[in-house]
Structure 1
Amino acid sequence: MIEMENVELDPLTLNENSNVDAKLKKMKNGVHSVSPIVGFIFIASIFVLYLLVYLIDGILPKPLTVADEKSYPTEFITERAQHHLKALTSLGPRIVGSPENEILAVEYLTGAVDKIRQLSHGSHKIEMDLQLVSGSYFMDYKPDGAISAYANVQNIIVKLHAANSTNNSLLVNAHFDSVSTSPGGSDDGINCAIMLEVLQKLTQTANDIQHNIIFLFNGAEETPLQASHGFITQHKWAKEVRVVVNLEAAGAGGKEILFQSGPKQPWLIDYYKKVPRPNGQVAGEEFFQSGAIPSDTDFRIFRDFGGTVGLDFAYDRNGYRYHTNFDDFENIPGGSYQHGGDNALALIRYLGSAPELSRIHEQVQGAVVYYDFMGLFMIVYSGWVIIFLNIVVSVLSLAVALKSFYDFNLGLSFATLKYVGLCFLVMLFSMLFALLFILIVALVIDSLKFSMSWYNNTWIILGLYNVPVIAMSFVVVVLYNRYNSKTNLGISIHAQVQAHIMRIIWAVLVLIGTCCGIRSTYVVLIIVLFQTTSFLVVHICRLQHSVHKWAIIYIVFTLIPNIFLMKAGLEIVSLLVPICGRIGSDKNPEIIIGVVTFMVTIPISSSYVPLLTLVRKPYTILVGLSIIFVIFFIIVFTPLGFPYSGNKDSPAPQRFWIYHLNKEIHDENGVRNKSGFFLLNLDRNSPYSVKKYVAEMNSMGEIEDCDTIFCGLPIGSSRMVPILHLSTWIPAVQPVFPSDIALTLNSKIVEGNMSTFNLTAFGAHSMNIYLSPKNGTTIQAVSLLQNLPKPIMWNGRYVYLMMYTCGKMKQQLTFTVSVKTPTVWNASVLDVAVAGKFMDDKYFVKTKEFDHFLAQFPNWTTVYSWLGSYKSWIF
């Protein structure tokens, strides 16, 4: 066997009919092959490696207490931040317009700032301003935007002055309001608490900061994003803001992650990478900005309306608690405060004295790639380096492959080209076949109405999607190797050639991504770099003909990229699984999770597909993987596959938006008056999952009155428009409203073919106003905006959506609409509807019927129960 290690064959010229050659080949293959048991152990070890990554990723820093401050005088103290958050969450939901948000939360935050000011070092100057602001703007959501208007929303602004006078400021932002169903522990109370503690730590010692630091506690983010607009467009300190650090949450706990930067400001990442525990991926930034996640943050307002640059952070783990009553104080681990606080304090200290803030327009702009490795350190490069690195590594990868082919005596003959080309197609098809199988599985499960079995038990994904991705990519290669057994390549050389070709496929993908300007190609680049390096070592050490040494070196070099990929996969799956509970019933979550699982699994499994050539009886591995898949597929249809949980320690609730709604519709045929329960179906299983629990579901039907604007329904965002027709309507008694919704026509001026209406809407803290010109007419102007945006198309008519919110004091909304007709017009020209939304159940009365309806929902649901009033008029 020792003598056989360095036997070299001419693989494409051996005589297949030669018994000597056949025996020699069989002996050589036997030496290089491994037992199927080794294959099983190796695959199991990959899953064990993932478990280790999962466990390491969950490690949080030790939270510091006030008693620790003597030993760590300059460090973030979690215990004080926890005190702040406990006080905020004890107020309950802080809804814009409610006393809890407009009075109690403001009193607590301003009081906390006053105490910090009293304890501050004498060299510090701290100013505080309470802003009450009104305004309007257009939010260009995709595919349709909306006009956003607000009145009397509040901001608490604290300015920590620099040691020397300057007009350059760093803005740090978090919001203290919450949705109606949540005490807002993580979203976004924890970040308000972190900001208070950061302010205290900065002011305990002598002032040495070079720029002003503005702490913005904004009181209307959930409305959405209105108070931040009021600050950046109207406040006296807004014009001096150069950089913003925005602190948000889409989950509860875990580690705060950087998910947006810039735009195109590499120097910002250079400072962030110096924080104690950097955590962020530019792939997450590109994914978020693609619109795939149905969320947005104040960062967008500062960027689009203030022209500022900055960094956007969020807690994103355990998203099941997001916007639910489970997002409370008790369920946020102390290590999450410490992680976010340590990083925020360090970053604010760096940026607070960064010379770039005073020369912001002189900084080199360009695309930037950044990613951390297990939170230990961050790699950052930008501009031409991105293109240079991608091209050099890809070309080097190709060169190493060609050198290997030369060493294996694979010349440029037709037989060689045929063999390499066929290998390339097989490797590529193995991935496509795995994807096709995953799509079929997803469609079958969804068609049988057993979607989201993994929602509460994410471990199901491992057997349901990870395992078949591995198995199906393996099966193609196994079949090819069997077909290709007549060639005279030894299995060791055959495996190495396949590994080279698989790497070339990834290198081509890197080059394509580079041409398309996709920064996330670094995820694939890391695979190519480490595998190329492994074969460089193999050939330098002349180990390509060794029995197993080359494979060991290859496997060792795949560990770092695969650990990196596992961490990235864990991040995206942990984020997306809870989001599948609120993306709407029109989207198939099985396909989403199946495809995402494929995308994070195939780069890892593809590294090891070529090694399957070395395994004797590889079909046994495929049979074993298939059995695992079948077991998990069966689990989907058992109680273990039930998607939801109401366990307060590990919740996975199904969400329901429910309005007790009254419609009063005026049209050319008269008046229609209807009442009922409107359910916006937020996930694939809604509303049928609760049909056996809620008696009224037996009388549910499709949404009615869709000949009127948006079916006569209140909506929370223009993103809801495409799924309105999938909502549920249940006839019911008329609700009892705390106040009446009304619209008054103040004046109508007709000049030629232009009619201008002055209108006032009033009645609720939160209202939608819908404007739709009659066919043949067009809206030329709306007084709330300088330039009229693109309208929404609804049932062949144009509609403008206006979303209005009142804060501290209820205030009516007065606006003008100008409608143009092609000629003198004697008929009506405009439909206007007002949908009032009463979202704080502390201040409205539910009917007995509504209470009974809600009480029937099982404990594994989270119900957003509101009142709605829709009225329409013709002008």
Structure 2
Amino acid sequence: MKKILMAKKFFILELFIMLLLTTFVLYTPKAVDSKVETKFSAVRAQAHIKEISKEPHSYYDQVELANVRSYIIDILNTNLGASNVSEVRYEKEFVKQELNELVPYDIVNVLGKLPGKSDKGILLVAHYDSRDHVGRYGELGRSYGAMDDGYGVSSMLELSYILKDLNPENSIYFLFTDAEEVGLYGSKLAATDNTLMDNVRFVINLESRGRYGPSYMFETSKNNHKVIDLYKKAKLPVTYSMATAVYSVMPNFTDFSPFIDQGLPGINFATLAGLDNYHSPLDSYENINISSIQHMGVQVEPVVREFISNSKYVEDNYFVSNSDQVFFTIFAGVLISYSNTVAIILLIVAIIFTILLFTVLALDKGFSINIVKSTLPKGLLLSLVLIISGYIFSNIIAFIGKVPFNITYTRVLSSLSDIPSLIFLAVIVLIYTVYISKSKLNDILTIGVTLNLLLTLITTIFLPGASFLFLTATMFGIIGISMDKISNKITKKAILLFSILFQLLIIIPLLYSFYHALTIGGIMVLVILIVINGLVTIPLILKNLNLGGENERK
């Protein structure tokens, strides 16, 4: 008995270490010192934010907006030379004619260029206007624009500084857009400007909705196979094709949208965590997070350097592809990716292994009638109760916060939502774990494998970017059941530990990311993900806890 208790204590310690490791997936780096001239420095970048965020500078604050524009032009003149910097003005009448939109003021973009041997090149985009009026769902308006989009603007100014002395193969275009907050007008006009677009072969948009945390690469152009190959050059990449797949079917837009609508390839970045500051007076210099800015820079800089160093990237149709990639971050700096073709092959492999496993179980009489009579009905009922409770919880928090409820955007102060949400989700996991612990673990794993395989099939066909989450759960569920055939406890323990770690490295950062992306309104979605993934991950954990015990569940 003492040996069993010690084994369980060691596993609890191992589980704690694994949970700790999941926090490094979303690691953001320390800011590089301003004395380092050749690397992106968030210390230098923050000096730009201090200047541009002195006053709210929305499209309707024309004097303050002009001051920010003048500052950007002065910095670009110093870094790139005045002959490579221009103010691109679209008069109100032209906007009406081009976009069929009535606007009170001219739209004025700023464009800088670092000339390469070829005029064709990469376009970096960030908007320099801040939020003005009181917005939707509890937004306060009157933002100082330190994060949205000071993070993007300062990062581009810093990139113009560290790259200014290069003589690249391909050109870099720095586009600072006007009136993003009121209708994406600056980017819409630039995207239809043939003088610029004839030379652009790739687009990177830099945004910020949150204050802290990683800068996610959360959106790509369609058929992104070669786009992701280029993004792999990024340092400390943080991205999930599940997020890009979901974002692609949601009614959200950034300055990136007009360019990909024109068929340009590219990637879109944004910080998400810290919604308290978004579109409010709290979006100010005092509240910026320098590590998040550094993370944006260390991802974008290597991609830009790679692009401008090789003429192949500006060849006609270089980025043309007929497929997307499935990709996800598994640890700090570790990006796993594979093609849709490989995703289909992996699906077929998962189906074959599932059929083989279930055949063996049937021959060994490893299936229990309780799966259909008891375990599945009770599990479905409990899952439904947990999911509904997630919906109710979000509505209660929205009611307390006095904001309208929306599944994808319920703006509530983090002090009111973060800790209660963490406690609520922990209780959900605990309740689910208690239910699973009272069932035969292989019965639960059988249900988990079946459900996740079905979801893998559906997503591989209709939403491939989301398939990895269910595919990995399917494969590790199969492994979990198969462990009963292995007699060597050390081997069994090692395989189970690896399976648990891999699952936790995916699901926990993904839950964290979706929480900040969907806000408190999306708690129900998080519960659904916990329920689906928990059918595999929780039994794997319980199997490990029972290793060496006299009552190990079969």
TM-score tier by shorter-chain length is 0.7 to 0.9
Query: Which residue is 2:112 aligned to?
Result: 158
Specify whether residues 243 and 552 from structure 1 end up closer, same or farther in structure 2 by C-alpha distance, changes over 3 A only: closer
2:161 to 200, 214, 239: 200
Query: Which residue is 1:324 aligned to?
Result: 280
Please state if 1:189 is matched with 2:158.
Answer: no
Query: Which residue is 2:425 aligned to?
Result: 465
The whole-number CA distance in structure 2 between the counterparts of 1:533 and 1:106 is 58
2:22 to 42, 45, 53: 53
Please state if 1:315 is matched with 2:283.
Answer: no
Figure out how many residues of one structure are paired with residues of the other and give that number: 520
Q: Secondary structure at the match of 2:328?
A: strand
2:206 to 240, 247, 271: 247
Query: Which residue is 1:377 aligned to?
Result: 334
Segments of structure 2 that go 5 or more residues without pairing to the other structure are 133-141, 402-411, 548-554
Query: Which residue is 1:513 aligned to?
Result: 459
Q: Residue 388 of structure 1: CA displacement?
A: 1.4
C-alpha RMSD of matched pairs (Å) = 3.5
Q: Percent identity?
A: 21
How big is each residue's C-alpha offset from its partner over 1:533-571, in whole Å with a ceiling of 9 and x where there is no partner?
A: 4666764xx32xx77974664244221121221111111
Amino acid at match of 1:183: Y
Query: Which residue is 2:139 aligned to?
Result: none
Query: Which residue is 1:176 aligned to?
Result: 128
How big is each residue's C-alpha offset from its partner over 1:677-696, in whole Å with a ceiling of 9 and x where there is no partner?
A: xxxxxxxxxxxxxxxxxxxx
Q: Is the 8 A contact 1:391 1:511 kept in 2?
A: no
The whole-number CA distance in structure 2 between the counterparts of 1:612 and 1:380 is 30
The whole-number CA distance in structure 2 between the counterparts of 1:555 and 1:402 is 26
Of 353-362 and 450-459, deviating more is 450-459
Specify whether residues 462 and 191 from structure 1 end up closer, same or farther in structure 2 by C-alpha distance, changes over 3 A only: closer
Q: Residue 235 of structure 1: CA displacement?
A: 5.6
How big is each residue's C-alpha offset from its partner over 1:720-744, in whole Å with a ceiling of 9 and x where there is no partner?
A: xxxxxxxxxxxxxxxxxxxxxxxxx
Q: Residue 324 of structure 1: CA displacement?
A: 1.0
Query: Which residue is 1:116 aligned to?
Result: 79
Please state if 1:422 is matched with 2:372.
Answer: yes
Q: Secondary structure at the match of 1:242?
A: strand
The whole-number CA distance in structure 2 between the counterparts of 1:321 and 1:254 is 13
Query: Which residue is 1:80 aligned to?
Result: 44
Please state if 1:563 is matched with 2:524.
Answer: no
Q: Is the 8 A contact 1:398 1:504 kept in 2?
A: no
The whole-number CA distance in structure 2 between the counterparts of 1:115 and 1:611 is 58
Matches within 5 A, 1:481-496: 481=439, 495-496=441-442
Segments of structure 1 that go 5 or more residues without pairing to the other structure are 1-30, 119-124, 140-146, 411-415, 482-493, 581-588, 617-875
Q: Residue 380 of structure 1: CA displacement?
A: 1.7
The whole-number CA distance in structure 2 between the counterparts of 1:193 and 1:441 is 39
2:217 to 245, 252, 258: 258
The whole-number CA distance in structure 1 between the counterparts of 2:209 and 2:529 is 23
Q: Secondary structure at the match of 1:359?
A: coil
Q: Secondary structure at the match of 1:254?
A: strand
How big is each residue's C-alpha offset from its partner over 1:595-636, in whole Å with a ceiling of 9 and x where there is no partner?
A: 4234145414642247768879xxxxxxxxxxxxxxxxxxxx
Q: Is the 8 A contact 1:258 1:280 kept in 2?
A: yes
Higher relative contact order (CA 8 A, sep 6+): 2
Query: Which residue is 1:271 aligned to?
Result: 230
2:382 to 433, 436, 443: 433
TM-score (norm 2): 0.83
The structure with the greater share of residues assigned to helix is 2
Specify whether residues 40 and 236 from structure 1 end up closer, same or farther in structure 2 by C-alpha distance, changes over 3 A only: same
Q: Is the 8 A contact 1:253 1:317 kept in 2?
A: yes
The whole-number CA distance in structure 1 between the counterparts of 2:13 and 2:102 is 56
Q: Residue 327 of structure 1: CA displacement?
A: 1.2
Q: Is the 8 A contact 2:244 2:465 kept in 1?
A: no
Amino acid at match of 1:563: L
The whole-number CA distance in structure 2 between the counterparts of 1:95 and 1:272 is 32
Q: Secondary structure at the match of 2:335?
A: strand
Q: Secondary structure at the match of 1:360?
A: coil
The whole-number CA distance in structure 2 between the counterparts of 1:457 and 1:46 is 27
TM-score (norm 1): 0.54
Query: Which residue is 1:688 aligned to?
Result: none
The whole-number CA distance in structure 1 between the counterparts of 2:215 and 2:264 is 22
The whole-number CA distance in structure 2 between the counterparts of 1:327 and 1:310 is 27
Matches within 5 A, 1:703-782: none
Q: Secondary structure at the match of 1:458?
A: helix
The whole-number CA distance in structure 2 between the counterparts of 1:514 and 1:113 is 45
The whole-number CA distance in structure 2 between the counterparts of 1:467 and 1:530 is 24
Matches within 5 A, 1:806-825: none
The whole-number CA distance in structure 2 between the counterparts of 1:323 and 1:576 is 16
Q: Residue 342 of structure 1: CA displacement?
A: 1.7
Q: Secondary structure at the match of 2:327?
A: strand
Amino acid at match of 1:279: V
Query: Which residue is 2:306 aligned to?
Result: 350
Amino acid at match of 2:148: D
Q: Residue 148 of structure 1: CA displacement?
A: 3.9
Q: Residue 453 of structure 1: CA displacement?
A: 9.5
Q: Residue 221 of structure 1: CA displacement?
A: 0.6
Amino acid at match of 1:310: G
Matches within 5 A, 1:339-738: 339-354=295-310, 355-360=312-317, 363-403=320-360, 406=363, 409-410=364-365, 419=369, 422=372, 426-427=375-376, 429-440=378-389, 442-443=391-392, 446=395, 450=400, 456-472=416-432, 474-475=434-435, 478=438, 481=439, 495-496=441-442, 498-533=444-479, 539=485, 542-543=486-487, 550=492, 553-577=495-519, 580=520, 589=521, 592-600=522-530, 602-604=532-534, 606-609=536-539
Query: Which residue is 2:34 aligned to?
Result: 66
The whole-number CA distance in structure 2 between the counterparts of 1:427 and 1:34 is 31
Q: Secondary structure at the match of 2:89?
A: strand
The whole-number CA distance in structure 2 between the counterparts of 1:610 and 1:386 is 24
How big is each residue's C-alpha offset from its partner over 1:380-428, in whole Å with a ceiling of 9 and x where there is no partner?
A: 222322211222133224324434554xx32xxxxx76638528x7247
Amino acid at match of 1:192: V
The whole-number CA distance in structure 1 between the counterparts of 2:306 and 2:541 is 48
How big is each residue's C-alpha offset from its partner over 1:188-232, in whole Å with a ceiling of 9 and x where there is no partner?
A: 012111111111211224x0x222211101121111200111112
Specify whether residues 321 and 260 from structure 1 end up closer, same or farther in structure 2 by C-alpha distance, changes over 3 A only: same
Q: Residue 106 of structure 1: CA displacement?
A: 1.5
The whole-number CA distance in structure 1 between the counterparts of 2:306 and 2:377 is 47
Specify whether residues 190 and 536 from structure 1 end up closer, same or farther in structure 2 by C-alpha distance, changes over 3 A only: same
Specify whether residues 80 and 221 from structure 1 end up closer, same or farther in structure 2 by C-alpha distance, changes over 3 A only: same
Q: Residue 502 of structure 1: CA displacement?
A: 2.6
Specify whether residues 538 and 274 from structure 1 end up closer, same or farther in structure 2 by C-alpha distance, changes over 3 A only: farther
Query: Which residue is 1:107 aligned to?
Result: 70
Specify whether residues 537 and 368 from structure 1 end up closer, same or farther in structure 2 by C-alpha distance, changes over 3 A only: same
Q: Is the 8 A contact 1:84 1:193 kept in 2?
A: yes
Amino acid at match of 1:419: I
Specify whether residues 267 and 137 from structure 1 end up closer, same or farther in structure 2 by C-alpha distance, changes over 3 A only: farther
Specify whether residues 117 and 174 from structure 1 end up closer, same or farther in structure 2 by C-alpha distance, changes over 3 A only: same
Specify whether residues 367 and 297 from structure 1 end up closer, same or farther in structure 2 by C-alpha distance, changes over 3 A only: same
Query: Which residue is 2:85 aligned to?
Result: 128
